[in-house]
Amino acid sequence: MSLKRTFIVLGWAGVLSGCAAEVGDTGAQDELVGESQGALLSGNALSANALNLNALNLNALNLNALNLNGLSAQNLAVIRDPGPNGTLAREFMRYATSCALNSTGSFNFSWTDSSGKIHNEKYPGLLGVAPTWASGPLDELGQRMVTSCVAARVNYYQTPVLLSARSLRDPLKTLSSSQELIDYPDVEGAFWGNLFAAQPYLNTCYNSATVDNSRAHQRDCAAGHMTSEGQIVECGVIRIVGACSRVCQSLNGAGQYYPSCVDRPGQSTATTKEVITTALP
């Protein structure tokens, strides 16, 4: 099997306020740093609010190429909105582009803030889980992989955390020889779903053995954020469906990822392979 690229996305904080900065101001450019299997990702500070299904018409978005000529007037208006909804939409688009396109692609556009200042944005591709989105609609596999990737990068605290993203699907398929498996041994959980479907949904499950480690790394979305009163709070629309051992195929021993999970637990027994497993040091 050929080597896959390992990437680090340079971390960026304050996503709700910083996302509107001009390119060159954000300090959030993506950088290729080596080759291996899977992906090491930092900058995983996506706000759960950016998954607000009303901010972008994702069902319509998947029908078009991820470029200015492909996007609908409605979606362009949303990402150019100078208000809070525009900030969240741009935040989502930055992460979706990083997940979908590879390092040769980017999504470029401009918008004008309330003071009349023009911001020229360039969102670089990185992982390449759905690179054909640059020139045409997302197929179902692409919709699911982009969804899983974006969900895996949500952080309850909006704090960048370095993690390993793995999957049965290329280009995130890890091998037993990967140094990444040694450096990131604690599988946190898994993410899957389809935000682009007519009835969007997002699921996550947790590895019962590593919940404390995940929370120590400020990663709460797989198992849920525990309040001081002991209540569990989900990360926005990401539904916690329980322990991965109950809803997913056992961890692949070689690559340490869940090969498949029940797509809609409690509604159907059908499974999906478009799952992204996350792991921490």
Higher pLDDT, 52 or 59: 59
Contacts 24+ apart (CB under 8 A), 80-87: 80/109, 80/110, 80/111, 80/112, 81/111, 82/111, 82/112, 82/113, 82/114, 83/114, 85/55, 86/20, 86/111, 87/16, 87/17, 87/19, 87/20
Kindly state the tokens that stand for 53: 């299904």
pLDDT at 4: 34
From residue 222, how far is each of 107, 219, 229, 251 by CA, in Å?
A: 29, 8, 19, 16
Backbone angles phi, psi at 158, to 5 degrees: 55, 40
d(C-alpha 223, C-alpha 242), whole Å: 8
Mean pLDDT of 61-81: 92
**Percentage above 70 pLDDT, the chain:** 86
Number of structural domains in the chain: 1
Mean pLDDT of 17-23: 26
| Residue range of the domain that includes 44 | 4-280
Mean pLDDT of 228-243: 95
What interhelical angle do 140-152 and 84-100 show, nearest 10?
Answer: 110
- pTM, rounded to two decimals: 0.85
